[in-house]
Structure 1
Amino acid sequence: MEGKHDFWVQLQERLVEQCFKSPDSDCLVWTGCTTNGNRPYYGRIWVKMPSDDKGRSYLAHRVAVMCHLRVALGRNDLVSHLCGHSLCVNACHLTIEPLSTNIDRRTC
């Protein structure tokens, strides 16, 4: 169990190293690699999970939630930004919710 705890702590440290605290809010803004294509852009980070044979690119806000909960998320677990800032990785600004709830929030 100690090894898994160390993994999440080290991953959280890697995440925070690539962020800055927004002066206008409590957002922790990702400054590393981002998604390509249409806005909004989302942060990306390369991670090798303990259960994986090789690493892969993850959305940084999903990694923030995984570090906070100390558990890997499933592909169907949608992580939404309550703050509305797509590059925010502050776990307090993120929630796991159904797609329908996320869409409703965007159209309010």
Structure 2
Amino acid sequence: AESTNTSVLIYLDPPYYQADQKRAYTHSFLGGDHIRLAKVLKKTKFKFFLSYDDNQFIRQLYNGFNFYRLKWFYNTANLKNKKRNQGHELVITNYRIGSGNLFETL
């Protein structure tokens, strides 16, 4: 059976662009890989939800799409001073996410 555009959501979490590829990942994902992924996503007829590190190269690569900055806390905490480090990533979509909880609007 064929799926309609509205019944499919593709979630992607590729290796970060600015990460140390050899240290952080088993298989490297180089600049050309990021460019090829962007080209494929620009042609897809399905909705996509893509998480990335937030940097200028990625923002330029996905220019014209929707950007959302997602903040989160690391699960591991420094038990001595109970401080949790905060991080963030860039969520990129080819559809608008409504107001409210990000995951309720999918």
Q: Same fold (TM over 0.5)?
A: no
Q: TM-score range by the shorter chain?
A: under 0.3
- Report the structure number with the largest CA radius of gyration: 2
TM-score of the superposition, structure 2-length normalised?
0.25
TM-score (norm 1): 0.24
Q: Which has the higher strand share?
A: 2
